[in-house]
Amino acid sequence: MDLISLNTNPPNLQVAVRTLTIGGFALERASRFPGYALIYMYRYDEFGVKQQYCFALFENEPEAEQIQAAEIAAKHNKAELVIIGPTPVSEKPNVVWNRFLSLFGGPVYSHSPLEPEFGDYLMQLGFNTLPTRLEGKPDDLFELYVHKALEFTFGCKVHRYGQERRFEARPDGVIIQDRMFSALYDAKAYSNGYDVTLDSIRQFSSYVTEFRNRYSQYFELNAFIVISGSFPHSKETLEGRSRQFLSETGIPLAFQTAESVVQIIDLLSNFPSARRSINWRKIFVNPVVGPELVQAELQLINKDKIIAKNKS
């Protein structure tokens, strides 16, 4: 079964469709031709206007005749043409395959958080260990797996900054669940667990400052989340680090192990409709976040009987 990988595979129709769908596009149809495929999709812009796209996905460097045929098809369907291929194309709207994947936070091979292997892989990667069936760097893969896990957990699109931004003052990503909950997060893969130092606190604080300088008029941050295989500290030490961070930034610093992430996914898989009704601010005000906090919220929501729980 295919899961998330960072190996440089050639353009793939199924991966492209899933990645675009997760990115907010809706599929109308797809047509295959020798050496390429045309994917007709649409999405609504910020003003509610439907925008039509024709994505021309090429396995190899496209030939002039192929590009011309794609242009004719896109024009006939009143769609904007975007060429996707292994190499750039001059004078046409285009994106190279690897860049296309990074625009949406990585390739989407499956609804991976619900796959039976996902939890075990996430926990191994959290300790910077590469599972036998995956290829790539464990720390890069851990970022991808955490990104997919958070999207499932919060039931919303999670923005991942990606590898091209790793040398800038930014965390791994930001969770924006409408106006209900917003948080920055960082995924840390360390073989002996992530050591939270004073330098860590300063680094995370700089991420908050940078984000607020740009987006404070649009988003209110509620927490900063750090996810790792483990933390080689006592609960009291982590609470102290969180209080220090709170005094500097005004928001709590929450620590979560990969195992905790997996346990929370298991809980939510039985009650996915509750994800956007959970009081995540209440949960992530805690320095150490475990599944028992989510379980308590789910019990309250289930008791209200306003939204339905999945049947076993």
202: domain CATH number is: 3.40.91.30
pLDDT average, residue stretch 287-301: 96
Same domain, 207 and 275: yes
Same domain, 94 and 150: no
Same domain, 291 and 153: yes
| Structural domain includes residue 247 | yes
Q: Which residues pair with 177 in a beta bridge?
A: 181
Q: Which residues pair with 186 in a beta bridge?
A: 226
Q: What is the DSSP letter of 288?
A: B
Tokens of 301: 């929501």
Range from 107-116, 122-131, 154-163 carrying the lowest mean pLDDT? 107-116
**pLDDT of 2 strictly over 70:** no
Q: What is the DSSP letter of 186?
A: E
Percent of the chain with pLDDT over 90: 60
Q: Which residues of 224-241 are buried (b: 16+ CB within 10 A; e: fewer)?
A: bbbbbbbbebeeeebbeb
**pLDDT of 49 strictly over 80:** yes
Res 135: pLDDT = 82
Same domain, 180 and 236: yes
pLDDT average, residue stretch 103-122: 73
Most confident of 38-52, 114-128, 227-241: 227-241
| Structural domain includes residue 3 | no
Per-residue pLDDT band at 219 (split at 50, 70, 90): confident
Same domain, 217 and 180: yes
Say if CB 39 and CB 17 are below 8 A apart. Answer: yes
Last residue of a domain, one of 54, 69, 103: 103
Res 10: pLDDT = 79
User: Quick one: residue 128, left, alpha or beta (phi over 0 = left, psi -120 to 50 = alpha)?
Assistant: left
Same domain, 77 and 117: no
What φ, ψ does residue 54 adopt, rounded to 5°?
-125, 110
pLDDT mean across residues, the chain: 88
Same domain, 69 and 197: no
Q: Which residues of 43-52 are buried (b: 16+ CB within 10 A; e: fewer)?
A: eeeeeeeeee
Q: Classify 166 as helix, strand or coil.
A: coil
Res 78: pLDDT = 95
Per-residue pLDDT band at 128 (split at 50, 70, 90): very high
Same domain, 198 and 151: yes
| Structural domain includes residue 162 | yes
Res 105: pLDDT = 58
Tokens of 255: 């620590």
Q: Which residue has the higher pLDDT, 18 or 288?
A: 288
| Structural domain includes residue 7 | no
Per-residue pLDDT band at 124 (split at 50, 70, 90): very high
Last residue of a domain, one of 78, 103, 128: 103
Per-residue pLDDT band at 11 (split at 50, 70, 90): confident
Res 3: pLDDT = 44
Same domain, 226 and 83: no
Query: Which residues fall within 8 angstroms of residue 97, CB to CB, at 6 or more apart?
Result: 10, 11, 84, 85, 86
pLDDT digits (tens, 9 = 90+) for 299-308: 999 999 887 6
Range of the domain at 177: 112-304
Same domain, 91 and 146: no
Res 109: pLDDT = 53
As for how many domains the chain has, the answer is 2
Res 163: pLDDT = 53
